[in-house]
Amino acid sequence: MPDVGMAGTVPALKQVLASIVGEAHVHDDAATRRLHSGDIWSEAKEPVSLVVAPDNLDQLSRLMAALHEAGVAVAPRGAGMSYTSGYIPSVAGTVSLDMQRMNRVLDIRAEDMVVTVEAGCTWVDLNNALAPLGLRAPFWGPMSGLASTIGGGISQLNAMLGAGHYGTSSESVVAMSVVLADGRVLRTGARGADGETPFYRHFGPDLAGLFAGDCGVFGIKAHITLRLIQAPAAEDYASFAFDTGEDLMRAMAAMARAGIAAEMCAFDPGLTKVRMQRASMSGDVKALGAVVTRQKSLARGLWEAVKVAKAGRNFVDLESYPLHIIAEGRCAAAVAHDMATARQLAADHGGTEIENTIAKVIRAMPFPPLNSVLGPGGERWIPIHGQVSLSQAPALFTALEELFAELAPEFERFGVSTGYLFSSMSTNALILEPVLYWPDEKYPVHDVAMEPAHAARLPVQPANAEAKAFATATRKRVIAILQRFGCGHFQIGRAYPYKESRDPASWELLNAIKQVLDPKGAINPGCLGLDNRKG
């Protein structure tokens, strides 16, 4: 391990950090360092020197002050579900901040309709705390919410649960407490007379917005306050099949404009086949149990489970493009109206209604096990996404399909398969997410994410440098097409060309903010393309 800045050596720095968080929460063993040096996509050439886990805001503030004094780089990490090298160390001697001990729901203030959590709180834990009160955040999590943290979700931005009505994760944020590079604490929003009871986001310039989607480069999120809504009283589900991806895109755009779906989730034939391969009997049983529990009465739950079981897995034509939507509202009549609109719009664009099994299971099991981080044969997996305007979605899909058709011989040569996931963001964008699978070795983060029993069933793939190089080149070509259509991106990390998308005035402002908040350039250097280190 390298020497580390002004602290002199790694052992000396370890002692300093241990004096703040305790020896048990500073790690320098090879396995932990490697785990914190890789994400779903990549591993750093040189691992982090130390991993330190604060327990609260005070410890986090003191840690950052000590690391600032030592002059070392810092990489904040939540659950590690990044696939854009968002927390991968890029500087020798980097210290990884493991935020998972800061996992508490701190304050539910139903009278003010806000909840404050620590940044390491998972989406599933937040929802479990709110459900008995009949409350929910407007955006209430990605499908990786079993492990994904709220701090990571605000730093990277998320899609899925509630996004059809309320947009991405940051659009539900009221306020944040952020620890800066030197240990100072920056607090945003209107915060009440005591400064510690945030209730409204906007009070002058939107400081919270600076830290939303920043991939952690401006500061370390400690506390996050989200607004609340009453849990919807009614919900319903529908699924439709389309013959072409372009028809699917037009139907989803029409439904997004109408604002009728809390969630839309669609697949192409390739991803449908992968999902069918991955499905298991034990998973089916869990899904049926969840469907029963979701309903408001046992009789209704059992009836819904019978319908799901009867439908089985054969209701989807494996060559079609299935769309699954969930509508929710204050009363059954309003939801029924939205569902009628959805059926009409689907029919207008060539859709045929099919069994709504998957839509039901999405709501019954919103946070499934993270077994999809590898393919059904143990293959590596990488998604590449873009937010596209509603009008441009069909043309973008066509352009991506043309690329994949061109690459078909190489796909066969390297054993690469593809798929798509589609979803919506409020009333004005769709997400197109092509995914690649290729034979290659897994990383430690994959084993940590998956259920042990599932991981044990998967074949172990050997390292495959040629296939990885081809996947890397294909990923770059997909991103170039997304650029051509002017797409936006979540979890930019070090994968998407952010600087190139900004005008000179915007980039100058971003650099100035980075210089003020992190003058040594210590936090996630190089992420978003920002790197203000001297020398």
Q: What is the CATH number of the domain that holds 463?
A: 3.30.300
96 and 127: one domain? Answer: no
Has residue 517 been placed in a domain? no
Residue 192 has pLDDT above 60, yes or no: yes
339 and 423: one domain? Answer: no
Query: Can you give the C-alpha Rg of the chain in angstroms?
Result: 23
237 and 317: one domain? Answer: yes
pLDDT at 287: 46
329 and 434: one domain? Answer: no
The pLDDT of 222-233, averaged and rounded, is 98
Name the β-bridge partners of 161: 141
Q: What distance in Å separates the CA atoms of residue 139 and residue 450, rounded to the nearest whole number? A: 25
Amino acid at the residue 400: L
136 and 244: one domain? Answer: no
Extended strands (E) in 133-172: 135-136
- Output the domain CATH number for residue 107: 3.30.465.10
Sorted by sequence, the CB contacts under 8 Å of residue 53 that are 6+ apart come out as 21, 25, 26, 97, 98, 99, 100, 101
Give residue for tokens 């393309």.
Answer: 529
Percentage helix, strand, coil, to 5, in the chain?
Answer: 40, 20, 35
Question: By three-state DSSP, how is residue 330 classified?
Answer: coil
306 vs 118, which has greater pLDDT?
118
- Output the domain CATH number for residue 358: 3.30.70.3450
pLDDT at 3: 52
Q: What distance in Å separates the CA atoms of residue 11 and residue 141, rounded to the nearest whole number? A: 39
Has residue 402 been placed in a domain? yes
Q: What distance in Å separates the CA atoms of residue 420 and residue 434, rounded to the nearest whole number? A: 4
Query: In sequence order, which ranges of 325-451 are alpha helices (DSSP H)?
Result: 332-348, 357-364, 393-406, 408-414, 444-449
The pLDDT of 106-124, averaged and rounded, is 98
72 and 29: one domain? Answer: yes
pLDDT at 270: 82
pLDDT tens-digit map of 312-325: 455 566 889 999 99
The pLDDT of 475-488, averaged and rounded, is 98
Residue 500 has pLDDT above 90, yes or no: yes
Residue that is last in its domain, among 100, 115, 141: 100
Q: What distance in Å separates the CA atoms of residue 215 and residue 152, rounded to the nearest whole number? A: 8
243 and 264: one domain? Answer: yes
Nearest to 308 by CA among 242, 264, 348, 365: 365
272 and 363: one domain? Answer: yes
Q: Tell me how crowded residue 466 is: count the other CB atoms within 10 A of its CB.
A: 12
**pLDDT > 70 in the chain, percent:** 90
357 and 424: one domain? Answer: no
Q: What distance in Å separates the CA atoms of residue 257 and residue 190, rounded to the nearest whole number? A: 32
Average pLDDT, the chain: 92
pLDDT at 9: 87
pLDDT at 319: 87
Residue 289 has pLDDT above 90, yes or no: no
Has residue 38 been placed in a domain? yes
Q: Which domain holds residue 187?
A: 101-230
Residue 227 has pLDDT above 70, yes or no: yes
- Per the structure block, which two tokens stand in for 423? 């979803």
Phi and psi of 220, rounded to 5°?
A: -105, 115
Q: What distance in Å separates the CA atoms of residue 60 and residue 118, rounded to the nearest whole number? A: 11
The pLDDT of 446-474, averaged and rounded, is 96
Most confident of 8-17, 44-53, 285-294: 44-53
Sorted by sequence, the CB contacts under 8 Å of residue 520 that are 6+ apart come out as 68, 71, 181, 533, 534
Residue that is last in its domain, among 66, 100, 134: 100
Residue that is last in its domain, among 306, 338, 368: 368
Give residue for tokens 């991939």.
Answer: 215
Sorted by sequence, the CB contacts under 8 Å of residue 128 that are 6+ apart come out as none
Name the β-bridge partners of 418: 436
Q: What distance in Å separates the CA atoms of residue 237 and residue 355, rounded to the nearest whole number? A: 10
The pLDDT of 60-81, averaged and rounded, is 96
Has residue 501 been placed in a domain? no
pLDDT at 282: 45
Residue 303 has pLDDT above 90, yes or no: no
Has residue 500 been placed in a domain? no
pLDDT at 8: 62
Sorted by sequence, the CB contacts under 8 Å of residue 274 that are 6+ apart come out as 375, 376, 417, 419, 437
Phi and psi of 131, rounded to 5°?
A: -55, -45
- If you write DSSP's letter for every residue of 495-520 in order, what string do you get? TS--GGGS-HHHHHHHHHHHHHH-TT
pLDDT at 292: 44
Question: By three-state DSSP, how is residue 422 classified?
Answer: strand
Query: In sequence order, which ranges of 213-356 are alpha helices (DSSP H)?
Result: 245-258, 269-278, 281-294, 298-311, 332-348
Strands 50-52 and 321-329, bridge-based pairing: unpaired
pLDDT at 6: 47
334 and 377: one domain? Answer: no
Compute CA distances 478 → 417, 472, 491, 492, whole Å.
14, 10, 16, 15
Compute CA distances 289 → 56, 306, 324, 364, whole Å.
37, 11, 20, 9
Cα atoms in the Cβ-side hemisphere of radius 13 Å centred on 411: 15
Residue 422 has pLDDT above 70, yes or no: yes
105 and 175: one domain? Answer: yes
pLDDT tens-digit map of 197-207: 999 999 999 99
Write down the pTM of the prediction.
0.92
pLDDT tens-digit map of 246-257: 999 999 999 999
Number of domains in the chain: 4
pLDDT tens-digit map of 349-407: 999 999 998 899 889 999 999 999 999 999 999 999 999 999 999 999 999 999 999 99
Amino acid at the residue 162: G
Give residue for tokens 């994959």.
Answer: 446
